[in-house]
Amino acid sequence: ALYWDELNKLAEENSVDFYYEASIGGGIPIILPLKETLAGNKFREIIGVLNGTTNYILTKMAFEGATYGDALSDAQALGYAEANPASDVEGLDTARKITILSTIAFNSQVKLNEVYCEGITEIDTTDIAVAKELGYVIKLVAVAKETDGEIEAYVRPAFVPKSHPISSVNDVFNAVFLRADAVDDVMLFGRGAGSLPTASSVVGDIMEICRNIKYSSFGRHNGICYENKKVKDIFSTTNKFYVRMLVTDRANVLAGIASEFGEHSISLASLKQNTLSGEHAELVIITHSAKEADLRAALDSLMQKDYIHKINTMICLDGSDVAGQF
């Protein structure tokens, strides 16, 4: 992902092949289909579960009630996570992969530093439970969209509706969901890591190179970036959001919070209060679609209030309106 442009240009200059199927999704064929079988499509959206370590952790938390720490320790014991798991759990590994996919799909180079990246380290069992109650599961998703000639690319935890195919991708499996104008929706699913799945992709690339050598046909897939599209800043993007916060349990707190959101043009779809022991209460808020910059400004302002003790979590969500499910 860091040196893709340099390597691609070097391959073009020397009329040689540049293949890297195993760099994304282990044994899942995704790069060559984007360049060949699906090349006649205009892609609108890519949603990927592209990291087996984080998917395993979130699956353990969802199905077994494990804490993040326990699930991570289990993943390390099984060899799914490194001793230093930062690249996985902080989303960087996934960001590298969506950088490559979005570059190919949208025919315009997307650089790693243009992809917003957020990991799963702040997700806890309360968030998992709320997602389940609302008909969602939490996944670390890689998303890339093209709208009006601009690209939106990010990696972050998200509430994924149980009706979406990506929601059923569990354990260490990976999947890439594509939405395009001709084929509509396509999902590729399989083992995202492991010696044999990865070897399958590597050997496939080698065999393709051998065919090209035999027929003197080189570099057919190299020239894919013939456009120059803007990559949007995450703060200019719009989503619905789930926010969980710890507040003082006293009169007028809810009114103050609603007023602060309103001043930043944030419309609330629903609000639920869970009274805790002592003087505190936990609020779970679902917003209507809002610009990320506005939501962050509202939360920054709220953190200055004496009745806000902590903003626990902010997670984007997708799918149908969930306000009526509280």
Cα–Cα distance, 195 to 40 (Å, whole number): 33
Give the chain's radius of gyration (CA, Å): 22
Tell how strand 308-317 and strand 150-161 pair up.
parallel
- Positive or negative torsion for Cα 47, 177, 120, 128: positive
Cα distances from 284 to residues 118, 169, 221, 243, in angstroms, run 21, 26, 48, 6
Catalytic site includes residue 97:
yes
User: Exposed (0-12), middle (13-18) or buried (19+): which is 305, by Cβ within 10 Å?
Assistant: middle
Cα–Cα distance, 189 to 49 (Å, whole number): 9
Cα–Cα distance, 122 to 39 (Å, whole number): 38
Single-letter residue type at 247? V
Burial 256-272 (b: 16+ CB within 10 A, else e): ebeebbeebebebbbbe
Which tokens go with 325? 């499910």
Question: Which residue is catalytic, options 35, 42, 60, 97?
Answer: 97
Cα–Cα distance, 20 to 134 (Å, whole number): 39
Query: What phi-psi label fits residue 65: left (phi over 0), alpha (psi between -120 and 50 degrees) or beta?
Result: left
Catalytic residue annotation: 97
